[in-house]
Structure formats: structure tokens, C-alpha cells
Amino acid sequence: MWSQLPKHLEILRKSKTILVIAGLFFFLCLLLSLNRYYSFYSSFDQGIFNQVFWNNLHGRFFQSSLSSSLSTNVVHAGEVTRVDYHRLGQHFTPALLLWLPIYALFPSPVTLSVLQVIFITAAGLVLYILARQYLEPPLATIITASFYGANAVIGPTLNNFHDISQIPLFIFTLLLAMEKRWWWLFWLLAILTLAVREDAGVGLFGVGIYMILSKRFPRAGLALSSLSFGYMLLLTNLIMPLFSEDISRRFMLERFGQYADGNEASTLEIIWGMISNPWRLIVELVTPPVKTIKYLLGHWLPLAFVPAVAPASWMIAGFPLLKLLLGKGQSVLAITIRYALSVVPGLFYGVILWWSQNPQKFKPSFRRFWVACICVSLFFTVTSNPSRTLYFLIPDSIQPWVYVSLPQQWHHVTQMRSLLTKIPPNASVCATTYLVPHLSSRREILRLPSLKLRNDSQEVIKVDYAIADLWQLQKYQVAFKGDRNLLRNLIPLIEQMSANQEYGIIGFADGVILMQKQAPSKPEAVSAWLAFRETLKNIQI
């Protein structure tokens, strides 16, 4: 293997077009991701992952108070958020430890965004080398360009950091190892992929099925599919419940509750519910029909719809796609968020194999059509404004009009930072969503309107500081019900906290309020708050 490494690096070095495309993708995505973070548009999940990394760095592996606030014990049983809650009960993600040394050198939430862009950019380069095992440079180049231009790739790259961003790099490298018969690397990547999260084995199962049905490596394929399926069952039914009941009482029901009865369900019970009611399974597979078709077309578009007729694409990508189509919720069929990325490796590998058998179809007319498809995919990506990353280009709402310019947001940021610096790094704090990532490198943090948590001494306390970006909520509440409801809840909460003198208003700037427990209010901050409160009179509180 090592003797062939220079050869593969030489393949990349000679392909100046790929290096330019990859470099452009890396630069633009990194620039947008950095702007998204530093202009306070990264949100709650960025804070969760950063707190997990921060706790890992301090020896409290996979603990997170932010994750605890989403646990079934808090959401359903009404318990108080815990700082020692183990996130492995929600998502089993030991692969994150691979990147802990890098985080240790640069311990910041923005490090995770940089890592995510690196993962996806590197995945595209491995894809090109993989494509060159079968195809001539022009075809391999346009397939890789399709990857960098896919909505299902760009959107998740610009999201908050997420564990699924590791999967394309791992799966493409695994497939390359399979092609080169580097079996030790193949099985290493299989283990690493399984370690990404509890459902990553679905994609590996598809690879195993392909290896069997194609008759290329049937024994290895049987071993891979058995390993991935068995691991997922063992993990979700025996190991994850040791940490919490979230997998059975929350996540299974939120995604696949239509196949189960009662208030909890294991993966085995969900699978049996699917098998025992095939009619319901078929209905879920195709509904909602318009959204399902749009989702498939979105995946096929940058590849000029070839995956629709590529058997290997269906074999490999069919299983993660099936998991999404059979689930429920608004996010499963959203092509710009992380779940879409799990479908990508199988689609692209299947297209490589299809073109290896049909190279004569790569005519100038089809090449022009393909380039047009990539351009349309890029257009839809930009107009979809993934994760509000392009907030300064694309209005969040037309009617009513909601738009925040770059100068306006950065002016707001400078006002916020003056208040954030007043919060000590070890203090407990609660904050509104877009402030959470910037405060998440600490043990005790919550999202407003929560104020209570159980600390390491097992005492229930109220946080030392509360900070809320009311300006942001005011801007967006005219078009978004969630922001409007949160604003309605926060205003009386702030008034109550101040009135009973449990918290004092110690800072107010540009619609951002900072409160400290058992501290006297500052008159100038109170005056600024009351003046801002007057601007909210038209909102029914």
C-alpha cells in the first residue's frame, strides 16, 4: 500500500483542475463557515459538540449539559438538566476522539467548523482517486466537480459541526481500499465508520450488500453486512441504554414511532413493526410524494440523474436512503442538512461504476448537460440559504420582509462581545440559541429559558449569568413563529427575574441583555432595557 501512495498523490498533483476546484470549495466553505460562526449564526448543535469536545479534553468523556437538556429525562420526565449527562445515550460517537488532539491545540468551537470543511474537501480528493481506478481524467474530474457542487454536500458542510461529516471521507477511503485489495485498511475504515454514530452501519450494510450481489467479494461483503447489522442491534439495544433511555424513549419514537405502540420502542421492535405491517411501510416510503420526489431529484441533479439508472447506487445508497424515507419529521428529507450526507458516498460510487461500463455515452452534448446540472444544483444551494449561512445575500423571508445585512450584523456583533467578555470563563450561564456556541467551552451552560441545572455536587442551582439576544429575535419574529414565541416567553421571564431581584441587569447593548444572579442592577442598563422594551409593545406578550 505505502509503495503506491506516491502514485496516488501524483494523480492528484497532475490534475490541476481538481486541485483548483477542491481549493475553491475549501476556501469558499471555510470563509462562509467562519463568517457564520463569528457573526453569531452558528447555533445550538455547534454548542453541543463543542461542549462535548471541551469535556473530553478535561477527562469528562462525552458529558454535556446541553445534550442533557434534550434528554428524555428532561423533556418527558421534567427532571433538571445534569452536567454529568453522557451524550452516548443519545448518539454513540467515539470516532470524535480521533480529532481530540487537534482540538487540544485549538480549543474553540470554530475549530470544529474548520475540521468539517477539511473532512468534506478531503473526501472529494479521495473520490477523485477512486474514480481514476475506473475512469479517464475528464470523467473522474466532472464526477468530483459534481460532488463539490452538490446541494447534499455543500449544505451539510455549512451546517453546525456534525458527526456525519466524517462519513464521506471514511466510506470513500474504504471503497478505495476495497478496489486496491488493501484489506487491513478496509476493515480499519469499517470500524472507524461504525464508530461515527449508531446508525452509520446502515451505509456499511449497503456496501456489504453490493459486495455480495456484484459477486466481487461475497465473503467479505457477508462479513461486512453481518458486522454492521449486528453492531447496530447490539449498540442500540444493549450498550446505549446503559447511558440513558433516550434511544428507546425519544429518538426511535421521534423518527419511527409510527411503527410502534406505547411510549418506548427498541430498534428490534421498530424493525418488527415494519415487517409486520408492510402496507404501512409502503405508504411511508412514498409519502409525502412530492417531497420524496424532490429529495431524490436533488440528490441526482449534480450527477446528471445517472444515479437513477446505476444499479450500484441503489445497492449502496438505497439503505441509508430507505432509513430517511421511512422516517418522519421535517428534517429527514431536507437535502441541505446533515442526514443527506449519508446517502452521498453510495450514489457517487455507483455512478463511477456505471460510467466505467458506459464510457461511450460521455459525449460533448451530455457533458454540456452535466455541467448545466451542476450549475443548477449550485443555484438551488445558494437560494436555499443552508443554515442561514448566506443571510447577508438571501432574505430569510420575502413577505414579510426579513433581511439582515453584513454590516448590520457585524455592528450587532461588536455590541454583543462587550457583554460576553463580562461573563467569567468558569461561570455557569444560560443563553439564547445563537450565543450558546460562543459560551459552550464550560461545564455548566443551558439554553434560555432554562435556568436550573444539577452540578457536579448533585446540587440543583440556578446559573450565575443569563444573556439573551433579543434584537435577533425581534428581527425574525415577524416571519418565524418559533422566534416570536420565544420572545414572548423571554420578556416576562426577564421582568420577573429583575422584579424579584434574584438577577440584576448589569448590561444592555443593541438589544442584548446580560443579567447576573444576586447582583444589583445598573441604572444605565435598566434604562436601556426599558427603552428597548417599549419597541416591543406591538408584539403581543
Whether residue 491 is predicted with pLDDT greater than 70 in this model: the reply is yes
Please report whether residue 80 resides in a domain: no
pLDDT at 264: 77
Mention every residue, 6+ apart, whose C-beta is less than 8 A from residue 479: 396, 397, 400, 402
Is 151 within 8 Å of 337 (Cβ atoms)?
no
Domain match, 192 and 302 both: yes
Domain match, 484 and 364 both: no
Please report whether residue 104 resides in a domain: yes
Round to whole Å and give the CA distance between 111 and 441: 12
Say how many domains are in the chain.
Answer: 2
Phi then psi for residue 533, to 5 deg, are -60, -35
pLDDT, one tens digit per residue, over 333-357 is 889 999 999 999 999 999 999 999 9
pLDDT at 249: 79
What long-range pairs does 264-273 form, CB within 8 A, spacing at least 24? Answer: 266/236, 266/237, 267/232, 267/233, 267/236, 267/237, 268/233, 268/237
Mean pLDDT of 452-458: 95
Round to whole Å and give the CA distance between 300 and 210: 19
Q: Identify the bridge partners of residue 460 per DSSP, sorted by sequence position.
A: 454
Round to whole Å and give the CA distance between 428 and 442: 8
Mean pLDDT of 388-399: 92
* SS3 category, 85: coil
Domain match, 362 and 503 both: no
Domain match, 278 and 353 both: yes
Q: Give the structural domain span for 432.
A: 406-534
Domain match, 378 and 439 both: no
Phi then psi for residue 170, to 5 deg, are -65, -45
Domain match, 248 and 310 both: yes
Confidence at 9, pLDDT banded by 50, 70, 90: low
Q: pLDDT exceeding 70 applies to what percent of the chain?
A: 96
Residue 480: how many CB atoms within 10 A of its CB?
15
Q: Identify the bridge partners of residue 445 per DSSP, sorted by sequence position.
A: 429
pLDDT, one tens digit per residue, over 238-263 is 999 999 888 887 777 777 878 877 77
Is 94 within 8 Å of 61 (Cβ atoms)?
no
Please report whether residue 73 resides in a domain: no
Phi then psi for residue 82, to 5 deg, are -115, 145
* SS3 category, 462: strand
pLDDT at 212: 97
Confidence at 5, pLDDT banded by 50, 70, 90: low
pLDDT at 250: 78
Domain match, 411 and 364 both: no
pTM greater than 0.85 (yes/no) = yes
Round to whole Å and give the CA distance between 520 and 505: 7
Q: Identify the bridge partners of residue 516 per DSSP, sorted by sequence position.
A: 465, 504
Whether residue 540 is predicted with pLDDT greater than 60 in this model: the reply is no
Of 388, 417, 432, the residue at which a domain comes to its end is 388
**Cβ-based burial of 276 (10 A; exposed 0-12, middle 13-18, buried ≥19):** exposed
C-alpha cell, 452: 436550573
Mean pLDDT of the chain: 92
pLDDT, one tens digit per residue, over 257-310 is 788 777 777 888 888 888 888 888 888 888 888 899 999 999 999 999 999 999
Q: Which residue has the cell 502514485?
A: 7
Is 334 within 8 Å of 340 (Cβ atoms)?
yes
Of 357, 388, 419, the residue at which a domain comes to its end is 388
Q: Check whether the bond before 400 is cis (ω within 30° of 0).
A: yes
H or E stretch at 366: helix 364-384
pLDDT at 333: 87
Is 357 within 8 Å of 148 (Cβ atoms)?
no
Is 89 within 8 Å of 247 (Cβ atoms)?
yes
Please report whether residue 33 resides in a domain: yes
Round to whole Å and give the CA distance between 338 and 35: 20
Domain match, 378 and 429 both: no
Q: Please report the DSSP string for 370-436 in residue order.
A: HHHHHHHHHHHHHHH-GGGTTTTTS-SBTTTTB---HHHHHHHHHHHHHHHTTS-TTS-EEE-GGGH
Domain match, 353 and 446 both: no
Round to whole Å and give the CA distance between 99 and 176: 22
Whether residue 2 is predicted with pLDDT greater than 60 in this model: the reply is no
Of 331, 360, 388, the residue at which a domain comes to its end is 388
C-alpha cell, 450: 432554562
Which has the closest alpha carbon to 234: 198, 203, 275, 259?
A: 198
pLDDT, one tens digit per residue, over 70-127 is 999 998 888 999 999 999 999 999 999 999 999 999 999 999 999 999 999 999 999 9
Please report whether residue 247 resides in a domain: yes
Whether residue 25 is predicted with pLDDT greater than 70 in this model: the reply is yes
Whether residue 504 is predicted with pLDDT greater than 60 in this model: the reply is yes
pLDDT at 254: 77
Is 316 within 8 Å of 210 (Cβ atoms)?
yes
Domain match, 169 and 249 both: yes
Please report whether residue 321 resides in a domain: yes
Please report whether residue 92 resides in a domain: yes
Confidence at 7, pLDDT banded by 50, 70, 90: low
pLDDT at 277: 82
Domain match, 161 and 294 both: yes
Q: Which amino acid is at 523?
A: P
pLDDT, one tens digit per residue, over 394-437 is 999 888 999 999 999 999 999 999 999 999 999 999 999 999 99
| Distance (Å) of CA 235 to CA 88, 226, 244, 281, 359 | 10, 14, 12, 24, 43
Domain match, 524 and 381 both: no
Residues in the chain: 541
Please report whether residue 229 resides in a domain: yes
Round to whole Å and give the CA distance between 348 and 307: 8
pLDDT, one tens digit per residue, over 128-155 is 999 999 999 999 999 999 999 999 999 9
Round to whole Å and give the CA distance between 218 and 212: 4
Is 396 within 8 Å of 477 (Cβ atoms)?
no
